[in-house]
């Protein structure tokens, strides 16, 4: 099925935690002393970009541009070419080149790695010229959220099927009503692509329904550091045909159809995106990737789809104390959403796809207990993004509705063809107005009375299993009711991660401190099953305070991504307790 060389990463530069902490805002120059190669890092409000310090014209070295008062550009010592490092575009001469970006990755200790993907543009291996498409030959049907049903000749492919139940424990629910035939569509698929392990993309309730009819349906995932299906055995979903494929290699499905999975430059350990090519026409789905393929993507694809909405985080809605007033949170959310909207619009304009579709953002915090989150966590409007894109460009945009079908052949031939996009029949229900909360909440609630939690020693057992220590942070964990008030008879305890102890009082030494209040049903379900804390944090099931107001990347990254792959051995624990 493979027909090209595996994409690899090479580490070009390593910075120590001290060097990272000392990075200044704007332009930073570095040399790898062992290789003699030079690099530029650009820092802006916590975001980092990097490139080789090598002019594309004739290989000259860049130095600081003293004429640039904004501190964003560098000047080549050979012929005075200028590069704006904030955009990686050459500004003298204007419109000439773009500088190739390197992947910036943080390591376990808050150090930094600069990585180069090789090949950087793997889709260019074995290029194919686009052939004419018959009407109806390639059809893309939107089901819900990030789930698309693609008809590609006589093959069918489905992206990220989340069609029933919640995501992130009980925090996210589907905004759109899926077409009534969604299960039949899934059963007819020749292959399914699942981009990453988050439960709005890897939906075990959905896959359970599918597995009752087709256990052997071929599912494809990228070769991420944390396996996408790391929790398959624990889930009880009997899927038997999961295929893990390397990044940057064309996977040949038939003579006309192939696909390639690419890694994310910011979260290579878990996020992926995909290029699907049929008869030379590319469909690019960047899903949730922050910097897909390190920022290098194919231009002028036939169809591009990406996330757009924002709001997929507990920050800042679940935080309180200090600066986190309602006014500050509202302004922050408004500013961040606008930045995301402008970034997506610029990305689409830079890549110039023929057609663009915003998706993977159609969720709602519909449980009544999350009313505050629903009201606070505003999301971008897909139509607003599409209007931004259409300004000064001829890109066709599509705001999808459940059951709507895009005919690629028609739209590529004539963007004005009224049959290019077939909307669902008149009267079709678009938005959900009720959700089946009960069975999913019952599953969570069952964990509250589990025998494990009769023994307070579960706390030491769990955090020893989790394996995070030697870090100066003290966390107070409080089990709560629905309204984040202390749960009667619930646990309220301290964890000192410097020596993994469980003191009765905060230590006398200087230390950062966080207080995490968690709904008792979710935290106990997560603990019992050894699940990642995304269910708590992204699912809005916590309320947090911190002093000082610092994000502890190593702590959260460990509990959201790096927990052990096998759950705690509670059976052995209970035997020992007995």
Residue with tokens 């030379």: 280
Phi, psi of 139 (to 5 degrees): -125, 135
The b-or-e profile of 299-338 (16+ CB within 10 A means b, else e) is eebbbbbbbbbbbbebebbbbbeeebeeeebeeebeebbe
Cβ 365 vs Cβ 171: under 8 Å: yes
Mark the ranges of the chain whose per-residue pLDDT is less than 70. 1-5, 96, 108
- Nearest partner of 511 among 500, 523, 524, 497, judged by Cα: 497
- Nearest partner of 177 among 432, 428, 423, 403, judged by Cα: 432
Q: What was the pLDDT predicted at 3?
A: 47
Q: What is the DSSP string of 261-319?
A: EEEBSS-TTT-EEEEEEETTEEEEE-TT-SSBGGG---SS-SEEEE------S-TTTTB
Q: Could you report the per-residue pLDDT of 198-246, keeping only the tens digit for each?
A: 999 999 999 999 999 999 999 999 999 999 999 999 999 999 999 999 9
Q: What was the pLDDT predicted at 232?
A: 97
End-to-end Cα, the chain, rounded Å: 53
Q: Could you report the per-residue pLDDT of 454-474, keeping only the tens digit for each?
A: 999 999 999 999 999 999 999
Cβ 101 vs Cβ 51: under 8 Å: yes
Q: What was the pLDDT predicted at 1?
A: 52
Average pLDDT of every residue of the chain: 95
Q: SS3 breakdown of the chain: % helix, strand, coil, rounded to 5? A: 25, 30, 50
CATH of domain 446-577: 3.30.1050.10
CATH topology for 134-307+354-366+394-435 is Metallo-beta-lactamase; Chain A (3.60.15)
Query: What is the torsional sign of CA 229, 230, 236, 242?
Result: positive
525 contact partners, CB below 8 Å, separation of at least 6: 169, 443, 444, 447, 531, 535
CATH of domain 8-118: 2.102.10.10
CB atoms within 10 A of CB 215: 12
Q: How far apart are CA 517 and CA 506, in angstroms?
A: 17
- Which residue ranges make up each domain of the chain? 8-118, 134-307+354-366+394-435, 446-577
């Amino acid at each position: 099925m493979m027909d090209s060389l595996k994409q690899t990463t090479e580490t070009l530069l390593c910075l120590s935690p001290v060097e990272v902490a000392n990075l200044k805002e704007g332009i930073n120059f570095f040399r790898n002393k062992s290789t003699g190669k030079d690099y530029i890092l650009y820092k802006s409000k916590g975001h980092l970009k990097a490139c080789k310090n090598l002019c594309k014209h004739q290989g000259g070295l860049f130095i600081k541009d003293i004429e640039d008062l904004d501190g964003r550009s560098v000047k080549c010592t050979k012929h005075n070419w200028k590069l704006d490092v904030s955009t990686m575009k050459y500004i003298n001469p204007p419109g000439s080149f773009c500088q190739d970006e390197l992947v910036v990755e943080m390591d376990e200790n808050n150090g930094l790695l600069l990585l180069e993907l090789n090949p950087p543009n793997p889709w260019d291996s074995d290029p194919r010229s686009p052939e004419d498409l018959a009407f109806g030959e390639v059809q893309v049907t939107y089901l819900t959220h990030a789930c698309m049903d693609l008809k590609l000749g006589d093959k069918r492919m489905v992206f990220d099927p989340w069609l029933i139940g919640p995501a992130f424990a009980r925090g996210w629910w589907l905004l759109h009503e899926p077409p009534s035939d969604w299960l039949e569509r899934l059963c007819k698929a020749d292959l399914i692509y699942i981009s990453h392990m988050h439960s709005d993309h890897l939906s075990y309730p959905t896959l359970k329904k599918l597995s009752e009819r087709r256990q052997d349906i071929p599912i494809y995932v990228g070769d991420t550091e944390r396996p996408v299906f790391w929790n398959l055995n624990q889930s009880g979903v009997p899927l038997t045909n999961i295929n893990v494929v390397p990044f940057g290699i064309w996977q040949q499905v038939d003579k006309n159809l192939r696909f390639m999975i690419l890694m994310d430059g910011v979260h290579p350990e878990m996020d992926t995106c995909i290029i699907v090519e049929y008869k030379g026409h590319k469909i690019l789905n960047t899903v949730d990737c922050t910097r897909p393929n390190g920022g290098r993507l194919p231009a002028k694809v036939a169809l591009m789809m990406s996330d757009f909405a924002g709001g997929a985080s507990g920050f800042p809605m679940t935080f309180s104390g200090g600066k986190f007033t309602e006014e500050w949170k509202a302004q922050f959310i408004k500013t961040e959403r606008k930045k995301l909207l402008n970034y997506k619009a610029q990305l689409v304009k830079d890549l110039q796809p023929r057609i663009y579709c915003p998706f993977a953002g159609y969720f709602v915090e519909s449980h009544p207990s999350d009313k505050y989150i629903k009201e606070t966590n505003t999301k971008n409007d897909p139509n607003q993004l599409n209007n931004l894109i259409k300004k000064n460009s001829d890109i066709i945009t599509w705001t999808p509705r459940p059951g709507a079908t895009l005919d690629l052949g028609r739209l590529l031939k004539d963007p004005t063809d009224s049959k290019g996009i077939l909307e669902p029949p008149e009267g079709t229900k678009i938005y959900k107005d009720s959700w089946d909360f009960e069975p999913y909440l019952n599953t969570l609630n069952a964990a509250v009375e589990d025998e494990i939690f009769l023994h307070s020693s579960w706390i030491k057992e769990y955090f020893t299993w989790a394996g995070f220590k030697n870090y100066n942070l003290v966390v107070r964990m409080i089990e709560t009711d629905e309204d984040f008030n202390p749960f009667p008879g619930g646990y309220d305890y301290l964890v000192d991660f410097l020596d993994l102890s469980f003191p009765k009082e905060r230590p006398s030494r200087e230390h950062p401190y966080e207080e995490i209040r968690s709904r008792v049903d979710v935290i106990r379900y997560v603990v019992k099953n050894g699940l990642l804390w995304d269910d708590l944090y992204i699912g809005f099931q916590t309320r947090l305070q911190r002093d000082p107001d610092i994000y502890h990347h190593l702590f959260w990254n460990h509990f959201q991504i790096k927990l052990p792959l096998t759950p705690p051995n509670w059976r052995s624990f209970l035997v020992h307790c007995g």
